[in-house]
Amino acid sequence: MNQPLPPDANPLQKPRGVLFWLSLFIVIAGLMNAIPGVPGLDAGLRNLTGLDWIKIRRFPTEWFYPLAFGLMMLCVVLKHSAWKSWKSEPKGKRQFGLLLDLAMVAAAFTISFTYIVEIESICLIDQFTGERDRLIAEALRIETEIADTMGLPAPTTVEDPSCVANTGGWLVLIIGLTVLIFLAYNVRVWGLALVLVALVVALYTIITVLVWYFHGPEDINKYLMTKLAGEPRALADGRPRVHDILVNNSAGLLGRFMNIMLNTIFPYLVLGSLFGASAGGQSLIKLAFRWTRKLRGGPAHAAIVSSAMFGTISGGPIVNVLSTGVLTIPMMLRRGFSKVFAGGVEAAASSGGSIMPPVMGVAAFVLASLTVVPYSQVIIAAIIPAIAYFFCLFLSVIFQTRKQKIEAIGELTDDMRMSRQDILNLAMIFGPILLILVLLLTTKEMVGCGLLGGVLGAERSIVDGACTVQSLSWFQQAVQNAAGDAGSAGWWAVMLLIALLFVDPEVRKMPSKIVDALSDAGILVSTLYLMFLAVSIIDFCLQFTGLPNFISLDVLGWLQTLNLGQDGAVGFQLIALLVTMFIAILLGMGMPAVPAYINVALLMGPVLAGLGIATFTAHMFIFYFAVASAITPPIALAAFAAASITKANPMATGFSAVKSGIVMFVIPFVFALYPEILLIEAAVIDPVKSASGVDVFLPGYDGTTNWPALMLVLCRIALALYLLSSSLAGFDHRKLAAWEILLRLGLAVLILSFSIPFQLVGVIGAMAILFWHASTERRKPA
């Protein structure tokens, strides 16, 4: 029997154990590292302490990354300890769990220590033995002699020398064993799907290396052999490449994904955790119900609005469902919506949060990094596809209300009335979002030249309409340092949200809620990087074997042999896009969007680029289908989460989510063939002709936006989506016959085709069928 709590006990208070303080330390260190450039901060700190080397921001990566990695993996073990979770299991299994936990901690700190021993910028052992100073002095002497001979200024620095004392041949064993341990722990935390892909790729790499070693490179298929070096063949020749796997800044275990995590994504993960602790979420849902009360869809429309707003901060479909769905789904059921539809539309709306600007989830930040496109451009590119997606969700709700004869409430109910506190709480939602938008969409050149530039203290001159800034105020310098930078925008949004949280009287009464949310963010960051480890393994194994290049060349060659005629380029693209879609959905089953996107981008990105689809557009296409996997049966995680609330059949809920969110499967094909709707220059750059380094645009594009032509395309898309959505619902003003459903689907295809005659036939046919449908419905007696 449960004992009552003492009067002074707080049921929300979390125990302050090692995990709590460790995760809190990770967040504080991460936020300090992510501090944007604040004017005078660095100089003031050095003047205050008298230490020229002191830093509280942008820590040296060669020291910070291994330390952060070791602590994050320790945090993962404390949170997901096999030994603790298997308390009730047999003694042997629990002892194995303890062994697994200890192995994980040992592997993490072994990698961290090996990293600082092997990386040339540190060479830890050489620093103790004095070899590093000797090598640097010798290299400097040689460079000075060369400079004297050529009459050049004497150099003061040289490149970091290679480490003399290192792990030698043991490095291969260290990397191999630690990778296995990381994958084993990934099974516990992230499930088997991701690990199976990583294991298959890793085994493929090992087997092909052994084929080269024992068989040799002659008379062997390129897919079956990974060459390490020349003759004589020796596995020791692979050490430089294994060393690269560890310390490479772009593809190593602590490389680009650690950089993305700590310098870009980190503030947004903290922001999402703080948002979950705020009272703004319920006020937002109340506002959404208020806004949509006069629509027949009422709570279903409110679910779409609130999930879009909540999802743009949380970025996680499952978290979104469990946060907003617990309020919106019961409201939908009370209004008469079926359980399957209510769960499906909530899952589809929550998944849409991952494609909703300005904060689109972790995968969008990874996309920006892999395509080298500023995140501010990514959110611009995502605007029209996101509007199309939620437009289609609204349509599916409208058709469902007509089908079930659900009427609008109209009047304000008690649960829609906004109190003064609700209005204040909304600042927690809209304040950080608006700040992120302003900072991301402001260019550094704009600061000081706007309408308020002079008022805020900028000294400037305007000659012939051109603005030249001589000096900026402290505030404007801070804005300029953060402008256009996703990490800096996220950091300032976190600081703003922490301040706004004190608007909530509950937070003022119990400020520890903020500390708890920060600690939860540390656990989330650590757990997420464990997933990135598995992705890193796939990444470096694919690069090691050269598999993506082989696939790209062979697929392109195969497509050329199909001889599709005059429109072969479009035909090739459609085939490759369909294959990419199926791979993305297949790999995304039961897997988060990040690894699903990265895995497919590594394999199929070069193929799509080779067919003339801009690199950015290709990655956006893959990104959309990685997100869509959350609602795609048979493993539709977001739909299953919604079904746990509705108690409906999970598989039926998944299919309902696909019908409601069908545009997520359609719009990627539209912007792949009509990249102008992405609105940015990177979407129309020809990747083949631009390989030399000079940007060349795709045929028919010049890098600018033709607004009249774009509006015509958007009108066609809207009409096609209406036909598609009504066809899948099987309902418009009344139930659609089978022939009408097929006709609408066919007309939608014609409308989106490249042929102008086909487009005209599609548009005229669509207008005729819609007019006929509406007029025959109106002529029916009431």
Q: Looking at residue 103, what is its pLDDT?
A: 93
Q: Looking at residue 6, what is its pLDDT?
A: 40
In this structure, are residues 504 and 279 in contact, taking their beta carbons and an 8 Å threshold? yes
Give the span between the Cα atoms of 627 and 110, in whole angstroms: 35
Give the span between the Cα atoms of 697 and 458, in whole angstroms: 38
Q: Looking at residue 522, what is its pLDDT?
A: 92
In this structure, are residues 634 and 655 in contact, taking their beta carbons and an 8 Å threshold? no
Residue 236: which residues within 8 A CB-CB, separation 6 or more? 169
Q: Tell me, letter by letter, the H, E, C secondary structure of 72-129.
A: HHHHHHHHCCHHHHCCCCCHHHHHHHHHHHHHHHHHHHHHHHHHHHHCCCCCHHHHHH
Tokens of 459: 């000294």
pLDDT digits (tens, 9 = 90+) for 459-497: 777 777 777 787 888 888 888 888 888 888 889 989 999
Beta strand residue intervals within 611-664, DSSP E: none
CA 281 to centroid of chain Cα atoms: 22
Give the span between the Cα atoms of 46 and 646, in whole angstroms: 59
CB atoms within 10 A of CB 18: 10
In angstroms, how far is the first alpha carbon of the chain from the final one? 61
Tokens of 365: 């930040």
In this structure, are residues 36 and 482 in contact, taking their beta carbons and an 8 Å threshold? yes
Cβ density class 515-554: b for 16+ within 10 Å, e for less = bbbbbbbbbbbbbbbbbbbbbbbbbbbbbbbebbeebbee
Helix 512-545 to helix 170-190 angle (10° resolution) is 130
Bridge partners, 462 (sequence order): 467
Bridge partners, 731 (sequence order): 735
Residue 631: which residues within 8 A CB-CB, separation 6 or more? 317, 344, 347, 348, 351, 638, 639, 654, 657, 658, 661, 664
Give the span between the Cα atoms of 388 and 396, in whole angstroms: 12
In this structure, are residues 667 and 625 in contact, taking their beta carbons and an 8 Å threshold? no
Give the span between the Cα atoms of 282 and 301, in whole angstroms: 16
Q: Looking at residue 410, what is its pLDDT?
A: 67
- pTM equals 0.82
Q: Looking at residue 313, what is its pLDDT?
A: 63
State the Cα angle at 599 between 596 and 600, rounded to 5°: 85
User: Phi and psi (nearest 5°) for 583?
Assistant: -65, -45
Q: Looking at residue 565, what is its pLDDT?
A: 46
Question: At 467, is the secondary structure helix, strand, or coil?
Answer: strand
In this structure, are residues 376 and 437 in contact, taking their beta carbons and an 8 Å threshold? no
In this structure, are residues 725 and 392 in contact, taking their beta carbons and an 8 Å threshold? yes
Give the span between the Cα atoms of 662 and 631, in whole angstroms: 10
Q: Looking at residue 562, what is its pLDDT?
A: 66
Question: At 451, is the secondary structure helix, strand, or coil?
Answer: coil
Question: At 462, is the secondary structure helix, strand, or coil?
Answer: strand
Tokens of 777: 């419905």
Question: At 471, is the secondary structure helix, strand, or coil?
Answer: strand
In this structure, are residues 658 and 633 in contact, taking their beta carbons and an 8 Å threshold? yes
Tokens of 120: 């040339």
Residue ranges, the chain, pLDDT below 50: 1-12, 565-567
Give the span between the Cα atoms of 100 and 82, in whole angstroms: 7
Give the span between the Cα atoms of 617 and 303, in whole angstroms: 30
Question: At 33, is the secondary structure helix, strand, or coil?
Answer: helix
Give the span between the Cα atoms of 84 and 212, in whole angstroms: 44
CA-wise closest residue to 325 among 61, 568, 639: 639
Q: In degrees to the nearest 10, what's the CA dihedral of 316, 318, 323, 326?
A: 160
In this structure, are residues 511 and 505 in contact, taking their beta carbons and an 8 Å threshold? no
Give the span between the Cα atoms of 435 and 479, in whole angstroms: 11
Helical (H) or strand (E) element with 426: helix 420-441
